[in-house]
């Protein structure tokens, strides 16, 4: 990657005996070491708490903290959420563009590839060499030389 990971710290708060924390305990036992090796810039803390719901607290470089309850999550879901939290900036998610509702649809109609083409293409048999040829806006250098030689021959 060529970016600075915005996630600075992640804290796993879980209960050692509660059934709600089973998924996070499995993740810690099996996958956490691999995840932390893959994300070496992130500091990982484990905080066991008695009879409390499991929680993930993330802290970002901009100083913001994000708290997320992970009650009854599977290890696969936890890994997906950890990757999501790692890749975000820490700012609150907000919608950048509002949906546009138009009362009147476009009178012009939708665009298509043949919109401004010659209408004789509708009855043309394809492949057609004439309609498939590239049309030059300006004459090429070769065409200009031929034209100059013809003009000099006619003037003599």
Q: What is the pLDDT of residues 21-37, one digit of tens each?
A: 999 999 999 999 999 99
Residue ranges of E strands in the chain: 7-14, 43-48, 55-60, 65-69
How far apart are the two ends of the chain, measured CA to CA in Å? 70
H or E segment and range at residue 1 = none
H or E stretch covering 154: helix 141-155
pLDDT at 138: 87
Residue-range domain boundaries for the chain: 7-87
Q: How far is CA 56 from the centre of its chain?
A: 25
Under CATH, which architecture does the 7-87 domain have? 3-Layer(aba) Sandwich (3.40)
Q: Contact, 12 vs 45, CB < 8 A?
A: yes
Structure pTM? 0.59
| Under 8 Å between Cβ of 70 and 26 | no
Q: Taking residues 81-93, what's their average pLDDT?
A: 88
Flag the least confident range among 11-15, 67-71, 123-127: 123-127
The model's confidence at residue 98, banded by pLDDT at 50, 70 and 90, is: low
pLDDT at 125 (0 to 100) = 84
Say if residue 144's pLDDT is above 70: yes
Mean pLDDT of the chain: 88
**Could you tell me the pLDDT band of residue 119, with boundaries at 50, 70 and 90?**
confident
In sequence order, what are the residues at sequence separation of 6 or more whose Cβ sits closer than 8 angstroms to the Cβ of residue 103?
A: none
């Amino acid at each position: 990657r060529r970016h600075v990971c915005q996630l600075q710290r992640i804290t796993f708060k879980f209960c050692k005996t509660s059934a709600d924390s089973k998924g996070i305990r499995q993740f810690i036992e099996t996958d956490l070491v691999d995840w932390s090796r893959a994300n070496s810039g992130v500091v990982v803390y484990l905080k066991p708490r008695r009879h409390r719901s499991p929680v993930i607290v993330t802290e970002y470089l901009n100083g913001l903290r994000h708290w997320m309850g992970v009650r009854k999550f599977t290890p696969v879901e936890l890994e997906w959420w950890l990757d999501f939290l790692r890749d975000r900036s820490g700012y609150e998610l907000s919608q950048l563009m509002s949906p546009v509702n138009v009362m009147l649809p476009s009178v012009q109609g939708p665009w298509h590839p043949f919109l401004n083409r010659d209408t004789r293409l509708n009855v043309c048999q394809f492949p057609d060499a004439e309609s498939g040829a590239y049309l030059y806006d300006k004459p090429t250098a070769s065409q200009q030389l031929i034209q100059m030689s013809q003009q000099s021959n006619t003037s003599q």
